[in-house]
């Protein structure tokens, strides 16, 4: 086959700060998926995009080309409206677990095609695989069947969905080109548009544990994604939410499932409950259920009922005990004072080093590894009290995990009086 462009010319255009033509974009995405554009050429192009950006027209075209690289799912046969949520990734972010069954209570179908963790952020599938028997891989027919019967499904995105993104995401991860707004926006939105949901709520994380460290960049990412969704006919809203400190009191796979079940039982930490409800309200609103009382469905057990059906439908035993680490070690406060710093990135890396995350896609994860927090920023602590408990099956990992926490946990002995107030979890909202 004769190729319409030369990869070197495409790279040079972007390297020199030009805009890629629609034809160049269509070709380079397709040729990369076919293996004609080599990995080293795409990594040079990704770096040129990282450094020089893309205009709105380029981002739209790039996203469309990634969608066209694979199949599109079709939920139009379902009797219920569909709503999906996507988080840009954080530490202790287990929200999908209580959220999907909660929204399904109100007759909305929630297809959560999820991924695995890479680096310091956790992955929803890794978390759910700590439930004995639970199965992540479902066929498209099984996904549709479960949405029809239970209303919610959390499973692996099939390999047919946006294969260009699968290749490109793995490449970006190893070439320091993940944090580019055009590349993140097109990566996320190509998968979500190909999935075929009617409406989408984005949870764009801001802070040390997120890709976007400040509110201005997170706002730009959110606006870019909301516009891409609107262009494709998907009702899209974004919440910008705090990821300067871990979400909830647990980080790590089985530990996070345990906390999610607490939320579904009407308890759980305030920030996890607040964010679950804020995202649920947005999804219900977008799906035409503005009067649904999500708080009541957590309180009265309806969300828990759907969770149990959802887990059982995928072979999991909702009554089985979750695995617990063979080794645990506490990190103690060295002085009296107020916990003023509990850095999300530091805790994420520590949990990863304990075995909760993977360095390469093919690495196994420990279901039991992770961190249980006993204090959050603003809490008063006393010398010798445990600030957190580290969990792992491989105790030789404790030392490196503790190194990651160096400087990330700050107790201010001088802080007097009442503990400083915590800022709300939702920082801003972007709608089309
Ligand atoms: N999540 C994705 O799916 N893609 C990105 O580029 C970043 C986060």
- Residue of 179, 189, 210, 211 to test ligand 1 pocket, by largest number of atoms within 8 Å of CB: 211
Locate all alpha helices (DSSP H) within 248-331, ordered by sequence: 253-264, 270-286, 294-299, 302-313
Q: If phi over 0 gives left and psi between -120 and 50 gives alpha, with beta otherwise, what is residue 251?
A: beta
Ligand 1 centre to CA of 165 (Å) is 9
User: pLDDT tens, 207-221?
Assistant: 999 989 999 999 999
What is the percent of the chain where pLDDT is above 90?
Answer: 89
CA 85 to centroid of ligand 1, rounded, Å? 13
Fold of 327-412: Aldehyde Oxidoreductase; domain 3 (3.90.1170)
Query: What pLDDT shows up at residue 125?
Result: 94
135 part of the active site: no
Contact 143, 153 (CB under 8 A): yes
Mean pLDDT of the chain: 94
CB 424 within 8 A of CB 274: yes
Q: How far apart are CA 117 and CA 2, in angstroms?
A: 39
| Closest Cα to atom 2 of ligand 1 | 188
Extract the tokens encoding 143: 């996904």
pLDDT 10s digits, 356-402: 988 776 778 999 999 999 999 999 999 999 999 999 999 999 999 99
Domain spanning 83-160+190-320 has what CATH number? Answer: 3.40.1030.10
Distance from the alpha carbon of residue 186 to the mean position of ligand 1, in angstroms = 8
Atom of ligand 1 minimally distant from the CA of 188: 3
Q: Tell me what pLDDT residue 118 has.
A: 67
Ligand 1 atom nearest to 183, measured from its CA: 6
Residues with Cβ within 6 A of ligand 1? Answer: 88-89, 169, 178, 183-184, 187-188
Q: Which of the 8 DSSP states describes residue 158?
A: P
> Where are the domains positioned within the chain?
83-160+190-320, 327-412
104 Rama sector, left if φ>0, alpha if ψ -120 to 50, beta otherwise: alpha
- pLDDT score for 359: 73
Residue 51 CB neighbours (<10 A): 12
pTM: 0.95
Say what the pLDDT of residue 416 is.
60
Residue 345 CA to ligand 1 center (angstroms) comes to 17
Point out the catalytic residue in the list 26, 30, 165, 343.
Answer: 165
Kindly report, residue by residue over 306-358, the tens digit of the pLDDT.
999 999 999 999 999 999 999 999 999 999 999 999 999 999 999 999 999 88
Ligand 1, atom 8, lies closest to the CA of: 88
* The pLDDT value given to residue 157: 87
Burial of residue 183 (number of CB atoms within 10 Å: 0-12, 13-18, 19+): buried
Residue 86 known to be catalytic? yes
Active site residue 191: yes
183: Cβ contacts below 8 Å, ≥ 6 apart? 46, 49, 50, 168, 172, 177
Residue 417 has pLDDT above 50, yes or no: no
Which range among 27-36, 109-118, 161-170 shows the weakest confidence by mean pLDDT?
Answer: 109-118
Which residues make Cβ contacts (< 8 Å) with residue 157, sequence separation at least 6? Answer: 113, 114, 115, 191, 195
């Amino acid at each position: 086959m004769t190729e319409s462009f030369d990869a070197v010319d495409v790279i040079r255009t972007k390297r020199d700060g030009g805009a890629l033509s629609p034809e160049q974009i269509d070709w380079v995405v397709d040729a990369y998926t076919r293996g004609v554009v080599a990995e080293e050429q795409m990594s040079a192009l990704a770096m040129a995009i990282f450094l020089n950006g893309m205009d709105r027209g380029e981002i739209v075209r790039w996203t469309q080309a990634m969608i066209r690289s694979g199949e599109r799912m079709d939920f139009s046969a379902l009797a219920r409206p569909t709503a999906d949520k996507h988080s840009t990734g954080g530490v202790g972010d287990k929200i999908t677990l209580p959220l999907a069954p909660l929204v399904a209570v109100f007759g909305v179908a929630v297809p959560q095609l999820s991924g695995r963790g890479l680096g310091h952020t956790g992955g929803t599938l890794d978390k759910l695989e700590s439930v004995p028997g639970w199965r992540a891989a479902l066929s498209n027919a099984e996904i549709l069947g479960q949405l029809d019967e239970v209303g919610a499904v959390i499973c692996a995105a099939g390999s047919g969905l946006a294969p260009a993104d699968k290749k490109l995401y793995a490449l970006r991860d190893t070439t320091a080109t993940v944090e580019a707004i055009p590349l993140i926006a097109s990566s996320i939105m190509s998968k979500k548009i190909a999935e075929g949901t009617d409406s989408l709520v984005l949870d764009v994380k801001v802070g040390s544990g997120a890709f976007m460290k400040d509110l201005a960049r997170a706002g730009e990412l959110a606006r870019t994604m909301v516009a891409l969704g609107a262009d494709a006919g998907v009702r899209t809203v974004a919440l910008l939410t705090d990821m300067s400190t871990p979400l909830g009191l647990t980080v790590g796979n089985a530990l996070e499932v345990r906390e999610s079940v607490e939320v579904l039982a009407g308890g759980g930490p305030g920030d996890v409950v607040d964010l679950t409800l804020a995202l649920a309200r947005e999804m219900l609103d977008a799906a035409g259920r503005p009067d649904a009382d999500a708080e009541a469905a957590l309180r009265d057990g309806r969300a828990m009922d759907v969770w149990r059906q959802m887990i059982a439908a995928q072979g999991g035993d909702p009554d089985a005990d979750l695995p617990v680490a063979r080794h645990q070690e506490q990190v103690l406060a060295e002085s009296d004072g107020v916990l003023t710093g509990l850095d999300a990135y530091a805790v994420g890396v520590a949990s990863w080093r304990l075995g909760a995350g993977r360095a390469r896609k093919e690495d196994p994860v420990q279901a039991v590894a992770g961190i249980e927090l006993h204090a959050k920023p603003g809490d008063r602590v006393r010398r010798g009290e445990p600030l957190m408990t580290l969990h792992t099956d491989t105790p030789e990992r404790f030392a490196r995990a503790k190194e990651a926490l160096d400087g990330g946990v700050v107790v201010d002995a001088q802080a007097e009086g009442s503990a400083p107030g915590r800022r709300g979890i939702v920082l801003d909202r972007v709608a089309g």
